[in-house]
Structures are given as structure tokens and as C-alpha cells.
């Protein structure tokens, strides 16, 4: 495993989501779909809403900002569809996992500008295993 791994995902939540329609309108195929009431990732927690997910994992030595940029560029041409009233929540999530206690990533002004133009929530989830270099 590399020292830094993770993914950038688009998540759409709502009631009775039509995954094929979302795939067709966004011109990407979902990588995950959870139905309301279904267990979330082998836990006792159940999904309060349907969740459509498209995930792009970091490739070896790829910067998180590069993966985020690639995801955003897929969404720009179809951004008007993201504002559909049937979607209760939409966000882009960046998930980072590191072997080390300290990590960082940067976002260029251009990425921040385009992310703002999409006008959807952006969240960052970080998991650190707390290792130190000896």
C-alpha cells in the first residue's frame, strides 16, 4: 500500500433515485448504489435515503487534486442536471487515508473556482494511522 491512498466521489442522495437515469444524464456509470434501508458497508447502520455514488480512486503516486480535477471535469458539461429537485443532497467527497500521522494536499485556484461554479457541497474525510518516520 502506498503512503497515501483514497478517492474522490460524487454522491447523490434522495428518495427513489433512478440509477440508470442518473448514469445516462451524467454520462458516467455509478460505482455504488445503496437503497434506503439497506445496510451501509457491512454495519448495523441503514441508509436513510437512496445513495448513488461515482468513485474515482487515486492511482499510485497520483495527487488528490488531480483526481478531484478529473471528476470535476466530467461534471462540468452536465452540471445543470445536478440541480434536479428530486435530489435531496449532492456532494463531492475527497477521502484520504495515510500511513503517516501528518499529510496535506493542495487545491489550485482554478480547481477551487470550478468547484464553486458547480455550486455543490465539498467534503473531505481523512483517516490517519498515525505512523511516524524513525
Q: What 3-state DSSP class applies to 42? A: coil
Rounded Cα distance between 61 and 120, Å, is 27
Q: How many residues are given for the chain?
A: 134
The structure's pTM equals 0.87
Segment 10-19, tens digit of pLDDT? 999 999 999 9
The answer, yes or no, to whether residue 41 has pLDDT greater than 50, is yes
Please tell me the predicted confidence (pLDDT) of residue 97: 86
Over residues 43-97, the pLDDT tens digits come to 788 899 999 999 999 877 788 899 999 999 999 999 999 998 889 999 999 998 8
Report DSSP state, residue 120.
-
How would DSSP label each residue in 54-100? EEEEPPTT--HHHHHHHHHHHHGGGGGGGG-TT-SEEEEEEEEEEEE
Domain boundaries, the chain: 4-131
Q: What is the mean pLDDT of the chain?
A: 89
Residue 9 has pLDDT above 50, yes or no: yes
Amino acid at each position: 500500500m502506498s503512503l497515501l491512498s483514497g478517492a474522490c466521489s460524487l454522491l447523490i442522495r434522495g428518495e427513489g433515485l433512478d440509477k440508470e437515469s442518473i448514469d445516462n444524464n451524467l454520462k458516467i456509470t455509478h460505482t455504488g448504489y445503496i437503497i434506503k434501508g439497506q445496510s451501509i458497508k457491512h454495519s448495523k447502520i441503514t441508509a436513510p435515503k437512496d445513495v448513488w455514488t461515482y468513485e474515482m480512486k487515486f492511482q499510485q503516486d497520483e495527487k488528490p487534486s488531480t483526481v478531484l480535477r478529473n471528476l470535476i471535469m466530467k461534471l462540468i458539461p452536465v452540471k445543470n442536471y445536478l440541480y434536479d429537485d428530486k435530489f435531496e443532497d449532492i456532494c463531492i467527497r475527497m477521502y484520504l487515508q495515510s500511513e503517516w500521522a501528518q499529510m496535506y494536499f493542495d487545491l489550485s485556484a482554478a480547481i477551487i473556482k470550478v468547484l464553486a461554479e458547480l455550486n455543490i457541497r465539498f467534503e473531505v474525510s481523512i483517516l490517519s494511522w498515525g505512523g511516524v518516520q524513525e
